[in-house]
Amino acid sequence: MKVFCGRANPTTGSMEWLEEDEHYDYHQEIARSSYADMLHDKDRNIKYYQGIRAAVSRVKDRGQKALVLDIGTGTGLLSMMAVTAGADFCYAIEVTVLSLGLMSESLKYLNSFRKY
C-alpha cells in the first residue's frame, strides 16, 4: 500500500504530492524539516547562546551550580550551548528516535574537541 505525502518544493515554493511506501514515517519527516530551519538560523542561535550564557553566569555568580534541563532537545544544540557557557551539568531529554541519533552524533563531534 502506498501513502501520499505533501512536501513544499524549496525551489518553486509550491506544494507537491509524492507517493511513499507504506513504511514511510511521516513523523520523522516533520522532525527533520523543523530542525533544519532552526539549526541554520544564525541570528536565532546567537540570541539563544547569549541568553543561556547570561542565565548560567547569573547562577554561578550566586555561588550555585548551574544545572540545565533541555526538554525536547532535538539535536542537542541548546544543551551543548549550555555546557559551553559553563553549565555544570545538562539533562537533555528527547523522545523521537531520529533526534536521539542526531544528538548522539552531535555530542560525539563536540567531545572530539575536548582532547585538544
Could you tell me the pLDDT band of residue 58, with boundaries at 50, 70 and 90? Answer: very high
Higher confidence at residue 97 or residue 51?
51
Q: At what angle do helices 97-112 and 26-39 cross, to 10 degrees?
A: 40
pLDDT tens column, 61-92? 999 999 999 998 888 889 989 999 999 999 98
Average pLDDT for 21-33? 66
Strand bridging mode 89-93 / 67-71: parallel
18 lies in the same domain as 48: no
Helix (H), strand (E), coil (C) string for the chain: CEEEEEEECCCCCCEEEEEEECCCCHHHHHHHHHHHHHHCCHHHHHHHHHHHHHHHHHHHHCCCCCEEEEECCCCCHHHHHHHHCCCCEEEEECCCHHHHHHHHHHHHHHHHHHHC
46 lies in the same domain as 32: no
Please state, in angstroms and rounded to a whole number, the distance separating the CA atoms of residues 32 and 9: 15
15 lies in the same domain as 46: no
Which segment, 45-59, 71-85, 88-102, is predicted with the most confidence on average?
45-59
51 lies in the same domain as 25: no
Per-chain mean pLDDT for the chain: 81
| Residue 53 lies in domain | 41-116
28 lies in the same domain as 51: no
Average pLDDT for 91-114? 72
Our count of domains for the chain comes to 2
21 lies in the same domain as 66: no
Per-residue pLDDT, 88 = 96
Q: What is the CATH number of the domain that holds 92?
A: 3.40.50.150
